[in-house]
Chain A
Amino acid sequence: MTEEDRTDRDLGARFARLREEERAGGEDYRRFAARVAARARLRARPRRRLVLPALAAMAAAIVLAVLILRGGSGGATAPAWGRIDLSATSLRMPTDFLLDTPGNELLRSVPALGAPDGTATGGLIHAPATPTPEKPS
């Protein structure tokens, strides 16, 4: 008998003993099935108790999501923090005075087209609001 044969025989005997012990302490299929079914019912109970709170939480989450989405799309209930009026903002830097050149107000003013005199526009001569055809001389 080789060393390998002895190992096989030894392991076979050890596993056989383990198998016998496990099977002696085990139960037949019918009893196992009945016990497992009873345990499954016991486990299912707490889950059933959690169903209602879980559904309520889900419904609350859906309502909240709908409210936020409707608010974000600019409806009447839009929250104040969701809108910024860009036209009301202005940025003044400490060095802005360097850009103030002499006569700046003349350049920035909007000419009043068709005004009777140029005083309103700082003395500038403007073309009339509607161009008049040139008279032949």
Chain B
Amino acid sequence: MGVTRAELEAGIEEHHAASLGWALSCCGWDRGEAEDVLQSSYLKVLDGRARFGGRSSFRTWLFGVIRRTAAEHRRRAALRWLWLPLTGADGAALHDPAPDAARVLERSEESTRLVDALRVLPRRQREVLHLVFYEELTIRETAAVLGVTVGSARQHYERGKRRLRELLDPEACR
């Protein structure tokens, strides 16, 4: 028996705040791009292009959809960037990687430092740390979202944690 549209909408609504945080992480904290990704992900879920099979929790599955959609957006952005010299279009109009000034002001200095440090980490490590610390998922759930083994997720977690600590507190690590 499938999940009804009303149930899907209720699930999306329930996890919306967490989903936006995860989309932000997947998009390098670019809010505009994260909202685009989230919009595409919700549409995929609601029009049936992404089907919930019930093999994991709804949140784990939804995060997987958001992650794949963000990867698609990145690929499309890369293709657009390749086309720019041929079309003569303005690259800045298509993608502005600069953070939204209002959003930067809203974040505390400590959070801004954390976001900057996360941007330096390899993607996989950043994703694991975000899912474990920000979304409070277990390593097993994190592995399910990323489609990797639990051992691999644990390894990324340990390495990422060590690297993040070095970036945030270099004095303490000496």
- B66 CB, nearest partner CB in chain A, Å: 14
Is B16 a contact of A29 with CB atoms below 8 Å? yes
- Bound-state CA distance A28–B13 (Å) is 8
Are A14 and B106 also in contact (CB < 8 A) when A29-B16, A36-B35 are? no
- A89 CB, nearest partner CB in chain B, Å: 42
- B168 CB, nearest partner CB in chain A, Å: 7
Q: Total A-B pairs in contact (CB under 8 Å)?
A: 59
Least CB separation from A20: chain B residue: B111
Is A21 a contact of B20 with CB atoms below 8 Å? no
Q: B165 near A: Cβ within 8 Å?
A: yes
By secondary structure, the B interface counts as helix
**Size band of the B side of the interface?**
20 to 34
By secondary structure, the A interface counts as helix
Q: Restricting to B1-59, which residues have a CB under 8 Å from any CB of A? A: 12-13, 16-17, 20-21, 24, 35, 38-39, 42
**Size band of the A side of the interface?**
20 to 34
Q: B143 near A: Cβ within 8 Å?
A: no
Write out, one digit per residue, whether chain B residues 100-129 have a CB within 8 A of any chain A CB (1) or not (0). 000100111011001100000000000001
Least CB separation from B13: chain A residue: A29
